[in-house]
Amino acid sequence: MIQATNGNLASALLELEEKDVERLVSDELARGVPPETILEEMRQGMTEIGNRFAGGTYFLTELIMAAEIFGQTMKKIEPRLTGGSGGEAGDVVFATVKGDVHDIGKNIIVAMLRGADFRVHDLGVDVPPERIIEKLKETGAGVLGLSALLTTSFDSMKATVEALARAGLRDHVKVMVGGGPVDERVRAYVGADVCGRDAQQAVNLARQFAAVEV
């Protein structure tokens, strides 16, 4: 007999209780709860955490910790999923642009996107436009995330977006930019589609883009 979840899993995730989450997942799997059902409850917990972050009651460290617990739990659930094991939300290519070596912001967004079931191709730091173009062509990703922390990196972002156009990809790829000094003026200067203000917004933007057929 297939059991339903008892609703405690999302609560444990909300409280960042990693051990409780592990125990509850094991219990539910043992009771025969479908892994897809468990995964959905975990996603509900993540959605609520995202809402609380947007509302200012949870901060970035909580968001990231939830993403870590979610990711670690996924490793247990993924082998049991019947309909695909991740990346169902779509492909995203992500990079810190050429000339910039900062990676913490990028790493956070990548972790959050993976938690939201995106397949993220993280190219690392100091990435030239041609490598980004190559990965976009290889993966068919419809979303590109560019990160920078140095103001001197804006021209690299601009060069990357221009390279997208020359490669004939601009109409097929949505570009989101982010990082400490990156704001709406920078977005307009570099020719990107959106500027992500924080980790949760980046995930929301990627979901919006993935929902639009280009």
Partner 1 sequence: MPILTTLKPAIELTEVWKYEQGGREPRLALRQLAEKLLPEAQALVTPAVVVDFFPVSEVKHDRITLEGGHRLRGPDAARLLAPAKEVVVGVVTIGPALEEQASQYFANGQPAHGYLLDCLGTAAVTNLVQQVCAHLENLAAARGWPLGFPLSPGDAGWPIAEQKTVFALVPAETIGVRLTDSCAMLPKKSISFVAGLGPGMLTAAEGSQCDYCSLRDTCRYRHGPQ
Q: How far is the CB of 60 from partner 1 (least distance, A)?
A: 7
With beta carbons less than 8 A apart as the criterion, state whether 9 and 41 touch.
Answer: yes
What tokens were used for 90? 């779509």
For 121-156, letters b (16+ CB in 10 Å) and e give: bbbebbbbbebbbebbeeeebbbbbbbbbbeebbeb
Q: How far is the CB of 214 from partner 1 (least distance, A)?
A: 29
Cα dihedral 171, 185, 179, 124 sign: positive
By beta-carbon proximity to partner 1, the closer residue of 125 and 169 is: 125
Closest CB 103 distance from partner 1, rounded Å: 7
Kindly tell me which of 98 and 174 has the beta carbon lying closer to partner 1: 98
Instruction: Name the minimum Å distance from CB 171 to partner 1.
Output: 30
Nearer Cβ to partner 1 (183/193): 183
Residue number with CB closer to partner 1 (154 or 169): 154
Nearest residue to 43 via CA among 84, 86, 80, 91: 86
Q: Which residues bind partner 1 (CB under 8 A)?
A: 15-18, 59-62, 64-65, 67-69, 71-72, 75, 99-104, 107-108, 110-111, 126, 150-153
